[in-house]
Chain A
Amino acid sequence: MSAAGIPQLDDASKRELEGFLEQEQAKAKLQASIHELTNTCWNTCITGSISSKFSKSEAQCLENCVDRFLDSSLFIVKQIESQKQQL
């Protein structure tokens, strides 16, 4: 698409597009986190060789993986905060 069209939009349209862009960027960020998390959880949980479906423990591990990853993240932040207070 040519950038030449942009200045011809009125202010309301520009604002609308800016809002839209922000929304799409937030979506892109969310998607990027999901790719990262899938990669992490795959490497953590899928330890055996590949077959037509996940083993029971692999499926269980995948189900828990995201929540425990986020728990770890919260735990670490809390830990750092409490250490900061002791200084």
Chain B
Amino acid sequence: MSSLFGSGAATPDMAARKEQMKQSIQQELAIANAQQLINKINENCFAKCISKPSTSLTSSQETCLSQCMSLYMAAFDQVSRSYVSRISKERGAAPPGIGL
């Protein structure tokens, strides 16, 4: 009934546990991915926007940071799209042995 993958023998209890494990794995991965993105944004936008750290962030530095954030995410998006489409192209007509 609650066995979504129809492996027959699994009890509902086991199927639920399995689903729970899958979900936590996926969640961990999503969190790690988001953290990585945030770290990269901070690293790169700090370098771009805060050339001279003073006692607090100025409003123009904050403006720069928030613009930089959107731009970095747009760049991330662009890179993801290009990378994924290149990989599927290479898989379609790749000479064997060149694993990307």
Contact = CB atoms under 8 A, between A and B. Distances in A.
Q: Do A and B bind each other?
A: yes
Given A17-B18, A62-B78, A27 B29 contact: yes
A66 B71 contact: no
Grouping DSSP codes into helix (H, G, I), strand (E, B) and loop, the B interface class, with mixed when no group exceeds half, is helix
Nearest to B44: A42
Interface of A: 1, 5, 8-10, 12-13, 16-17, 20-21, 24, 27-28, 30-35, 37-39, 41-43, 45-46, 49-54, 62-63, 65-67, 70, 74, 77
Interface in B1-46: 5, 7, 9-10, 14-15, 17-18, 20-22, 24-26, 29, 32-33, 36-37, 40, 43-45
13 contacts: A5-B21, A10-B9, A10-B14, A12-B7, A24-B26, A28-B33, A31-B29, A38-B76, A46-B75, A62-B75, A65-B79, A66-B79, A77-B98
A41 to B, nearest CB: 6
B5 A9 contact: no
Contacts of B10: 10, 12-13
Given A17-B18, A62-B75, A35 B37 contact: yes
Given A13-B14, A16-B18, A39-B43, 20 more contacts: A1-B24, A10-B7, A10-B9, A10-B14, A13-B15, A13-B18, A20-B25, A30-B83, A31-B33, A34-B80, A37-B83, A38-B79, A39-B44, A45-B75, A46-B48, A46-B75, A50-B48, A62-B75, A63-B78, A67-B82
A52 B33 CA distance: 25
A43 B44 contact: yes
A8 to B, nearest CB: 7
A70 B100 contact: yes
Contacts of A17: 18, 21-22
